[in-house]
Amino acid sequence: MTEIDKRAIDACYEQALKSYNEGGLPIGSALTRGDAIIAVGHNRRVQQGNPILHGEMDCLQNAGRQTSYRDCTLYTSLSPCMMCSGTIVQFKIPRVVICENRNFGGNEQFLRDHGIEVEIVDDSRCIDLMARFIAENGALWAEDIAD
Ligand SMILES: [Zn+2]
């Protein structure tokens, strides 16, 4: 894992914690190019009343228009859902770093099948925060994953 990987993983956790403290779903994301974090974001379903503003979508929105994502890495505190995985494929983002996939997962193979490099880092901070949120807000979590 590189220095920028560590910084972006920290940013995902910080974004997730920020959302948790706002009463939202604790899922954060970061987009990097080279050694720079070009955008961060977090799930805003609750904060904005927007069901499609998952952490990854908020991060991509915050990054604004990009000519290409082929030299970018997307980081996410939790394994991406099918909406976000589809966006990753659509935008041809070549590499995704997933902080954890214990609390949610299942689309890793879909990403790999589309030629995307997937790394799972098992970050204990992200695992614990998400598990805590699910225990405290089961109904809100079910709403986010359409369960
Ligand atoms: Zn998603």
pLDDT tens readout for residues 42-86: 999 999 999 999 999 999 999 999 999 999 999 999 999 999 999
**1 confidence band (pLDDT: 50, 70, 90):** confident
pLDDT at 15: 98
Lookup: tokens for 114: 């589309």
Lookup: tokens for 44: 């805003």
Element (H, E) at 26: none
| Mean pLDDT of the residues in the chain | 97
Q: From residue 94, give the alpha-carbon distance in Å to each of 24, 68, 113, 116.
A: 29, 11, 12, 5
Tens digits of residue pLDDT in 7-29: 999 999 999 999 999 999 999 99
Q: Cα of 44 to ligand 1 centre, how many Å?
A: 11
Tens digits of residue pLDDT in 82-139: 999 999 999 999 999 999 999 999 999 999 999 999 999 999 999 999 999 999 999 9
Q: Cα of 110 to ligand 1 centre, how many Å?
A: 14
Q: Cα of 35 to ligand 1 centre, how many Å?
A: 25
Beta-strand relationship, 28-33 and 36-42: antiparallel
Ligand 1 is an ion; its neighbours by CB within 5 Å are 54, 81, 83-84
The terminus-to-terminus CA distance of the chain in angstroms comes to 34
**Cβ–Cβ < 8 Å for 15, 58:** no
Provide the whole-model pTM. 0.97
**Cβ–Cβ < 8 Å for 90, 142:** no
